[in-house]
């Protein structure tokens, strides 16, 4: 089917996802290394990335497994880290809710931080996309990142510490997420929500991993929505 649009939503999503590969791929290699060093088999380390597809929660689980925590508490802590994705799921619903069931089922599997943030940034921009285009854009953002996430974990697990590269890319992840979210701050309500999120997340950092962020995010959403209700959009 020939496309009359100069740049298809899939291709646009593909390119929008590129900068995050520089962060995500080394992150997955690192997970593979740490997981096998901790005692997981290559299959288990790779299985983690394939089945869970959520780096922060995988590292949380691994850390607790290294400490020999009970199975239920490993799972509970890791899931607390992932609960923010329920908010992602809810905020994608107005955009993708009318897509076919299996499209939504697929998007749900790969709804991680970067794919969500990149897609939402585009959905809120002009020109607006229709629902088919929104799904294609989303698939574009995950089309390279996801296979590389699996491959990176596998390579890290196989080669272990011998490929631990000396490049420090820790700084890139916060920078890229800030670069994504800063342009989304368009109104006073957005700004107030972002500031609330930062302050509350820092104040609540003592809570078990993931839970402080959840409370901070809920507070920030209330602040944003309340300011919008009083001032209008």
Give the footprint of another protein on residues 112-131 (CB under 8 A). 113, 116-117, 120-121
Give the footprint of another protein on residues 68-87 (CB under 8 A). 68, 71, 74-75, 78-79, 82-87
DSSP state of 205: T
- Considering only the stretches 3-11, 145-153, 158-166, 223-231, report the one whose residues sit in contact with another protein under the rule CB under 8 A: 223-231
Least Å distance, CB 58 to another protein, is 8
Least Å distance, CB 50 to another protein, is 8
Query: Alpha-carbon distance 131 to 135, whole Å?
Result: 6
Give the footprint of another protein on residues 4-43 (CB under 8 A). 16, 19, 38-40
* CB-nearer residue toward another protein: 29 or 53: 53
Give the footprint of another protein on residues 180-199 (CB under 8 A). 180-185, 189-190, 193-198
Residue 200 found at the interface with another protein (CB under 8 A): yes
CA–CA distances in Å: residue 226 to residues 29, 123, 196, 217, 230: 43, 23, 13, 14, 6
Q: Residues 109, 130, 147, 188: which binds another protein (CB under 8 A)?
A: 109
Q: Provide the total of helices (H) and of strands (E) in the chain, helices listed first.
A: 12, 0
114's enclosing H/E stretch is helix 113-123
Strand ranges inside 12-75, DSSP E: none
How many residues are listed for the chain in this entry?
233
DSSP state of 232: -
Q: Residues 130, 147, 163, 179: which binds another protein (CB under 8 A)?
A: 179
């Amino acid at each position: 089917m020939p496309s009359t649009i100069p740049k298809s939503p899939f291709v646009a999503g593909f390119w929008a996802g590129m900068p995050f590969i520089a962060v995500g791929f080394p992150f997955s290699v690192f997970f593979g290394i740490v997981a096998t060093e901790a005692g997981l088999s290559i299959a288990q380390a790779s299985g983690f990335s394939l089945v869970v597809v959520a780096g922060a929660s995988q590292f949380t689980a691994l850390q607790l497994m290294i400490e020999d925590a009970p199975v239920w508490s490993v799972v509970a802590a890791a899931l607390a880290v992932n609960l923010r994705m329920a908010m992602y799921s809810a905020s994608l619903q107005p955009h993708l809710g009318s897509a076919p069931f299996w499209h939504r089922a697929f998007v749900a599997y790969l709804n991680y931080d970067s794919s969500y943030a990149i897609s939402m940034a585009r959905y809120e921009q002009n020109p607006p996309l229709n629902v088919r285009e929104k799904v294609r854009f989303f698939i574009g953002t995950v089309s390279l990142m996801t296979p590389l996430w699996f491959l990176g974990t596998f390579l890290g697990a196989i080669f272990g510490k011998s490929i631990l590269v000396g490049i420090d890319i820790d700084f890139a992840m916060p920078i890229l997420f800030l670069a994504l979210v800063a342009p989304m701050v368009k109104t006073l309500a957005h700004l107030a929500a972002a500031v609330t999120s930062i302050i509350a997340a820092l104040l609540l950092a003592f809570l078990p991993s993931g839970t402080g962020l959840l409370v901070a995010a809920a507070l920030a959403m209330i602040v944003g929505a309340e300011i919008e209700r009083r001032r209008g959009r």
